[in-house]
Amino acid sequence: MTADDWRTIGLTAELAASSTLLLLLVGTPLAWWLARTHSRLKPLWASLVAMPLVLPPTVLGFYLLLLMGPQGPVGQLTQALGLGRLPFSFAGLVVASVIYSLPFVVQPLQQAFEAVPERMLEAASTLRAGPWDRFANVAVPLARPGFVTAGVLGFAHTVGEFGVVLMIGGNIPGQTRVLSVAIYDHVEAGEFTQAHSLAAGMVVFALAVLVTLYAVNRRARDDESAPR
Amino acid sequence: MIDARLRHAYAGFALDVSLELPSSGISVLFGSSGCGKTTVLRALAGLLRAEGRIALGGEVWQDDALGVFVPTHRRALGYVIQGSALFPHLDVRANLDFGARRSAPSEQRIAIDQAVALLGIGPLMSRRTQTLSGGERQRVAIARALAAGPRLLLMDEPLAALDAARKDEILPYLERLHRELSLPVVYVTHSMDEVARLADHLVMLQAGQVLAAGSPVELLSRLDLAAGEVATGRHEAGVVLDAEIVEHDEAFGMMRVGFGGGSLWVGAAGRPLGERVRARVLARDVSVVRQAPGETSILNVLPVVLVGVQTDRNTVLLRLRMHDRDARTPDGVHLLARITRKSCDILRLREGDALFAQIKGVALM
């Protein structure tokens, strides 16, 4: 593998890590709200979160490009704030990844929060725990398997994205060139050996991630099936 | 004094109760399922928002007129439910610490060590909650509630999920709690056994209303309540007596328990003289005769006055006053007897008749 390939791998990992972190920060309150709300707007919000599952990445990328571009509302805002333009920058990729991978983080978290028995939260409140305390010290620990799933899926899904990256980030080495795009380039250039080493790496990575995830979830289920 | 006026409407059901519960001892809310007893308890805890007012001594927890509603986590209460709701991610010790750590030192009326000793859970402290038996879980849940230093302990059918052996494992701890702490307890149950054993004050609920409230000795001897929907069906009518052990008969393995003016022989041993006990006499174990029987195998024969008769299909329930009124029991102490309608007719029983009650069975609770 070339130095460029290594740089690409590093950048991809950095993108996935920062997106995952942001996703957990944004996704946790959103998932908590979706899990507990009786609002009539819940189906709408749940659908908005799930949109990236259904939309072609290019559609998502296209609209994000328009939104973040110099004429778009988000673009105008970032420029007014002195942050410059997001498209074709690492920050732009992070924003796009967060939106693209949102359902992969929010849905497992929401399911995990929905599985937290109401009586546990009530027990906590009868033991003097206020709302934040209940969330942090009862709901989050009980939803731990959901956080593992959400983090792993969010990371893995961001590593694998292609269409959105191409629309938003282009292919700037060291800035926006990530693994999936690099593999595409290698294939286009007929560099099958290099494409192989990256692609095989991805296969091994994906398998490792999924095996870990299923193992962790099975252990969590075994814990739960013990009498409470 | 715990004062609560609560109203709450669901689909097809309305709760409207006014409760005055004593500030010590166990108050039992008793009724069949759907009578609203759990709703009352949840409203007291603030887990459910009913309309009305709740005050504990001088402390107001809810007063709609003043716009006061203290959230659950600011109410100094303990709450124990059927399924115990121990936190599965914490071990026993951390479960106990959970409430204790969150209440101010000045609020900690019961030290963790004391709660642990009271419930006998010392050996369980480092266990994971998943490895505990049902009875152990419930003891931990009670200790956890106590360790948070409550001014009021609320218990929602804490024994209902346990089998008979496990119930017998927990009940002595509840009685101990009752003896050793001055903490008021509001206890919800549909089990007459638990009422007979634990209640100092009894509130009978039916369809969201208070049917009757008062001492269980008095309420359980009332014909209208004994024959009503609450008592019949699942429960055989019977009275409870607050008594004291006054004599041992080691040779025959029996004890005599006294209550006010009367006393009864009970086939039991091993309880010290002077101990206060609760005795229960079921109506079906009591029969009546006009003359004092000469020779009989029945040890407990007491002179009584027939003060009430209630016919219930082919049986008749009699209310019998056992002795003259004294200061402690101004209305007298009563028994209930269930006899056949035919016997009642043959004996031509009338209110005011002087009779003798033959008591075949007495259970010490």
The average confidence (pLDDT) of chain A is 90
List the domain range (segments joined by +) for residue A55.
3-225
| Residue from B49, B72, B103 to probe the interface with A (highest A Cβ count within 10 Å) | B72
Q: What is the pLDDT of residues B72-131, one digit of tens each?
A: 999 999 999 998 899 999 999 999 999 899 988 877 778 889 899 989 999 999 999 999
- Domain at A159, CATH number: 1.10.3720.10
Compute the C-alpha angle B91/B92/B96, nearest 5°: 120
Task: Give the integer Cα–Cα distance in Å for A123 and A134.
Answer: 9
By Cβ distance, the residue of B87, B99, B154 closest to A128 is B99
Please report residues of B whose CB lies closer than 8 A to that of A117: 85
Nearest CA in chain B to A143: B89
Percent of chain B with pLDDT over 70: 95
pLDDT given at position B229 = 47
**Alpha carbon of B200: minimum distance to chain A alpha carbons (Å):** 25
CB B213 within 8 A of CB B202: yes
B191, pLDDT greater than 50: yes
Please report residues of A whose CB lies closer than 8 A to that of B89: 141-142, 144
- In the sheet that holds B262-266, the strands lie side by side as B262-266, B254-259, B238-249, B276-282, B363-364
Q: What is the pLDDT of residues B310-364, one digit of tens each?
A: 887 788 999 999 876 566 666 788 999 999 999 999 999 999 999 999 999 888 8
By Cβ distance, the residue of A119, A127, A144 closest to B98 is A127
| Residue from B41, B47, B69, B142 to probe the interface with A (highest A Cβ count within 10 Å) | B47
By Cβ distance, the residue of B47, B88, B102 closest to A129 is B102
Domains in chain B, CATH or no CATH each: 2-214 (3.40.50.300), 238-364 (2.40.50.100)
Instruction: Count other Cβ atoms within 10 Å, centred on residue A196.
Output: 13
**Alpha carbon of B349: minimum distance to chain A alpha carbons (Å):** 55
**Alpha carbon of B48: minimum distance to chain A alpha carbons (Å):** 10
By Cβ distance, the residue of B71, B98, B130 closest to A228 is B130
The answer to whether the Cβ–Cβ distance between B129 and A224 falls below 8 Å is no
Structure tokens at A221: 């289920």
Number of domains into which chain A is organized:
1
Mean pLDDT across B13-38: 92
pLDDT given at position B185 = 95
Q: For the packed helices A192-225 and A144-159, what is the interaxial angle rounded to 10 degrees?
A: 170
Task: Give the integer Cα–Cα distance in Å for B159 and B169.
Answer: 10
